[in-house]
Amino acid sequence: VKQKRYYEPVIDMVPGVQCQVDPGEIRNVPVGDKFVTVYFVVFVLSFSRQMYVAASKRPINTEMFIRMHDEAFRYFDGVCEECVYDQTRLVAIREEFREVWLNERFYQYASAARFDIRVCEGYDPESKGKVESGVKYVKNDFFYGDTFDSFDQLKTDLFSWVDTVANNRIHGTTKKRPEEVYSRVEQSKMKPYLQPGMMFDVNGQKRNVDKTSLISYKSNKYSVPMIYQSSTVMIR
């Protein structure tokens, strides 16, 4: 029997805390002399509504998804505390009773970049409305009725559109320009973003974390954050 949905306040209007992320695709885009499918990922900061869009002409795999996050965080010049996703295998392999098995490669990247992963329930766009509307905005504004000489031109035009149009419009909900809110309030609250490769010592050692969040080192036990239970970490 379908139960009535329970709603509660969502504390996402805090600068530097949350980014909502969602992949999308659009078919029959005129590029050169062909009609192609364009795959893209939209990143929207929940507080300022600052946006970034990364595009690909091939279906997005885990490594490409990570590179797109790298592009976004470099554009924002910082990383937020958490990113929110839907039930994509790029992030979550499966879920049972809200226990989520994460994509291990992406989880390693998120740990290195220092942001938490939050996965919404499947087929539940209400829990991630800001970016769901962002995908429609990209399709209906940037792609609508436009043609491109090459995919490189498409990416160049997309970056320019994000910078000069999407982030400088008067946002329908906040009634403010995302770029102004971001530079004035949110940017200073973002954490510094480093390349993941710089976060690990090549001479470090791997340790398996047990189910009680402990690792063993030189006959001693050390605790690590609960999020690393039953996983592998690098120590230095």
Joined together, the tokens standing for residue 134 give 């962002």
Joined together, the tokens standing for residue 70 give 């790298």
**How far, in Å, CA of 130 to CA of 166, rounded?**
14
Residue 129 has pLDDT above 70, yes or no: no
CA 163 to mean position of chain CA atoms: 18
Question: Comparing 30-39, 50-59, 120-129, which segment has the lowest mean pLDDT?
Answer: 120-129
Instruction: Count the helices and strands in the chain (H runs, E runs).
Output: 5, 11
**How far, in Å, CA of 107 to CA of 44, rounded?**
20
For 61-75, what is each residue's pLDDT tens digit? 999 999 999 999 999
What's the rounded mean pLDDT across residues 107-131?
Answer: 76
Residue 43's pLDDT band, with cuts at 50, 70 and 90, is very high
Residue 52 has pLDDT above 80, yes or no: yes
For 177-233, what is each residue's pLDDT tens digit? 999 999 999 999 999 987 545 455 556 688 899 988 899 998 899 998 877 888 888
- DSSP code, position 93: E
Burial environment of residue 169 by CB neighbours within 10 A (0 to 12, 13 to 18, 19 or more)? middle
Closest CA relative to residue 110, chosen from 65, 154, 151:
65
Give the pLDDT confidence score for residue 60 in this predicted structure: 94
Give the pLDDT confidence score for residue 37 in this predicted structure: 95
SS3 34: strand
Q: How, if at all, do strands 232-235 and 34-45 pair?
A: unpaired
pTM of the full structure: 0.77
Contacts for 187-190 with beta carbons within 8 Å, 24 or more apart?
Answer: 187/76, 187/77, 187/78, 188/16, 189/15, 189/16, 189/17, 190/16, 190/76, 190/77, 190/78, 190/79, 190/80
Please report, rounded to a whole number, the percentage of residues in the chain having pLDDT higher than 70. Answer: 85
Closest CA relative to residue 163, chosen from 62, 85, 50:
50
**How far, in Å, CA of 44 to CA of 49, rounded?**
6
For 145-172, what is each residue's pLDDT tens digit? 889 999 999 999 999 999 999 999 999 8
Closest CA relative to residue 82, chosen from 109, 114, 127:
114
Closest CA relative to residue 52, chosen from 67, 66, 27, 73:
73
For 77-105, what is each residue's pLDDT tens digit? 999 999 999 888 899 888 776 678 888 88
